[in-house]
């Protein structure tokens, strides 16, 4: 899931810059036809019905009778919004330019955003060494502790030497905490590059299959992705990863890589559970635009965590009151865990 305000801006930009697919260019522009085109497009191309156990036919049965030739634009919009809300997939969204936007699976976003404060961490817990201009990343040493800290606000690395500098600067610590809370995703390749600096082995970590036919079971062959050692130095000591419900997409793919190594612990709340790339932009005759998930990610044993996300080893959640009182209980639980498990402080 993504912070709603950030997500709205991000999706708006992506909608103006990506490829588009106009549905029904020669189709009648009326409520019933717009509904049929919308439902059928998902039925033939959305990738996660089987993985998530959704019955798309039941959505047709429920909502089709509610649409008539007299349905108003706002009424059709509300029906389509409910249809994709059922999918609970933040890579699936619907948009009326200049009017309204809805992302499926975004119900927890606003609350979760209040449960994390990067300025609090910087002021109370961190001796900062380096950061990007917009705090896309920040790293340093935890104050008074032999523990490094890396915050990633998104998965974007333009220069991989930055990762190597980070390992050089905080890699002599006994442990590193990687904070992925409020991480809105980005580039899967960036996650692979970062994980390569922590790799204690090399091997298959996940596969991807893209939906390629009208049946819900129609998928192309598997593309395999491997954890590889990258960079001049790997950090092989304990790593704690902090997560929340907004940890999404490429950040979750990064967690797949990292979870395959030893001495890796997840602390926080489950992640969003949304891994797939999205379709090109779709257009209905009435001007409504939307996108959806087009592939499924599978672990080496063939299972999927799409929809469930990564389940933390230790569940703990801040409250807005914790943050207001200038306490990050999630980060403090990581400190306690490292001491209890490894004697690191």
Quick: pLDDT tens for 319-331: 999 999 999 999 9
CA-CA distance, 198 to 180, in Å (whole number)?
A: 16
Q: State yes or no: pLDDT of 1 exceeds 70.
A: no
Same-domain status, 180 and 41: no
Tell whether 81 and 26 lie within a shared domain: yes
232 shares a domain with 186: yes
Q: How confident is the model at residue 20 (pLDDT cuts 50, 70, 90)?
A: low
- Report the pLDDT averaged over residues 166-192: 97
Q: Are residues 45 and 138 in the same domain?
A: no
Q: Return the pLDDT at 109.
A: 86
Q: What is the DSSP string of 172-217?
A: TSSEEEEE-TT---B-HHHHHHHHHTS-SS-EEEEEEEEB-SSSTT
Domain boundary at 105, 127, 159, which? 105
Q: Over the stretch 278-320, which tens digit does the pLDDT of each residue have?
A: 999 999 999 999 999 999 999 999 999 999 999 999 999 999 9
Residues 92 and 199 in one domain: no
Is the model's pLDDT at 234 over the cut of 60?
A: yes
Q: What local confidence, expressed as pLDDT, does residue 247 receive?
A: 97
Integer CA distances (angstroms), 118 to 150, 179, 257, in order? 11, 10, 25
- What percent of the chain is predicted at pLDDT more than 70? 93
Residues 243 and 321 placed together within one structural domain of the fold: yes
- Can you give the pLDDT at residue 25? 59
Average pLDDT over residues 240-269: 98
Q: Is pLDDT at 19 greater than 70 in this prediction?
A: no
Q: Are 97 and 234 in a shared domain?
A: no
The pLDDT of residue 9 is 39
Is residue 329 domain-resident?
yes
Same domain? For 79 and 117 the reply is no
Residue 200 inside a domain? The answer is yes
72 shares a domain with 154: no
Burial (CB count within 10 angstroms: exposed 0-12, middle 13-18, buried 19+), residue 98: exposed
What's the total number of domains in the chain? Answer: 2
Q: Are residue 122 and residue 56 in the same domain, yes or no?
A: no
Q: Give the residues across from 141 on adjacent strands.
A: 127, 148
Whether 252 shows a pLDDT value over 70: the answer reads yes
Buried b or exposed e, range 273-295, using 16+ CB within 10 angstroms: bbbbbbbebbbbbbebbbbbbbb
pLDDT digits (tens, 9 = 90+) for 134-161: 778 999 999 999 999 999 999 998 899 9
State yes or no: pLDDT of 14 exceeds 50.
no
Please report whether residue 306 resides in a domain: no
Domain membership of residue 291 (yes or no) is no
Q: Which band of pLDDT confidence, cut at 50, 70 and 90, is reported for residue 107?
A: confident
Residue 139 shares a structural domain with residue 250: yes
pLDDT at residue 2 in the model? 39
What is the percentage of the chain residues whose pLDDT exceeds 90? 88
**Calpha distance 123→326 (Å, rounded):** 10
Q: Are strands 126-131 and 137-142 parallel, antiparallel or unpaired?
A: antiparallel
Write down which residue in 46, 74, 105 finishes a domain. 105
Full-prediction pTM beyond 0.95?
no
Q: CATH no. for residue 188?
A: 3.90.226.10
Each residue of 73-105: pLDDT tens digit? 999 999 999 999 999 999 999 999 999 999 998
Instruction: State the average pLDDT over residues 160-166.
Output: 95
Q: How does the average pLDDT of the chain come out, rounded?
A: 92
Report pLDDT digits (tens) over 56-69. Answer: 999 999 999 999 99
Q: Which one of 50, 80, 105 terminates a domain?
A: 105
| 219 and 133 both lie in a single domain | yes
Structural domain boundaries enclosing 66: 4-105
């Amino acid at each position: 899931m993504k912070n709603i305000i950030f997500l709205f801006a991000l999706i708006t930009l992506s909608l103006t810059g990506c490829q588009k697919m106009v549905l029904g260019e020669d189709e009648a522009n009326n409520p019933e036809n717009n509904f049929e085109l919308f439902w059928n497009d998902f039925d033939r191309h959305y990738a996660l019905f089987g993985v998530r156990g959704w019955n798309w036919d039941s959505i047709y049965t429920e909502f089709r009778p509610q649409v008539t030739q007299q349905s108003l634009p706002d009424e059709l919009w509300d029906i389509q919004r409910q249809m994709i809300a059922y999918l609970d997939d933040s890579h699936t969204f619907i948009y009326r330019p200049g009017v309204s936007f809805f992302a499926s699976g975004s119900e927890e976003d606003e609350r979760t955003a209040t449960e994390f404060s990067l300025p609090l961490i910087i002021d109370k817990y961190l001796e900062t060494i380096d950061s990007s201009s917009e705090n896309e990343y920040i790293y340093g040493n935890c104050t008074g502790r032999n523990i490094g800290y890396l915050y990633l606000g998104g998965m974007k690395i333009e220069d991989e030497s930055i990762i190597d500098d980070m390992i050089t600067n905080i890699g002599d610590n006994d442990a590193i905490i990687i904070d992925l809370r409020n991480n809105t995703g980005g580039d899967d390749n960036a996650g692979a590059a970062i994980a390569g600096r922590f790799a204690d082995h090399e091997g298959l970590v996940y596969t991807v299959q893209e939906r390629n036919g009208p049946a819900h079971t129609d998928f192309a062959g598997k593309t395999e992705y491997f954890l590889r050692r990258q960079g001049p130095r790997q950090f092989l000591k304990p790593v704690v990863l902090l997560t929340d419900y907004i940890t999404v997409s490429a950040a979750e793919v990064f967690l797949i890589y990292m979870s395959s190594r030893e001495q890796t612990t997840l602390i926080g709340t489950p992640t969003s559970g949304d891994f797939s790339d999205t379709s090109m932009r779709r257009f209905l005759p009435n001007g409504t635009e939307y996108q959806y998930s087009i592939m499924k990610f599978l672990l080496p044993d063939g299972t999927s965590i799409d929809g469930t996300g990564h389940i933390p080893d230790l569940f703990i959640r801040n409250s807005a009151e914790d943050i207001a009182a200038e306490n990050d209980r999630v980060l403090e639980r990581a400190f306690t865990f490292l001491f209890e498990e490894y004697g690191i402080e």
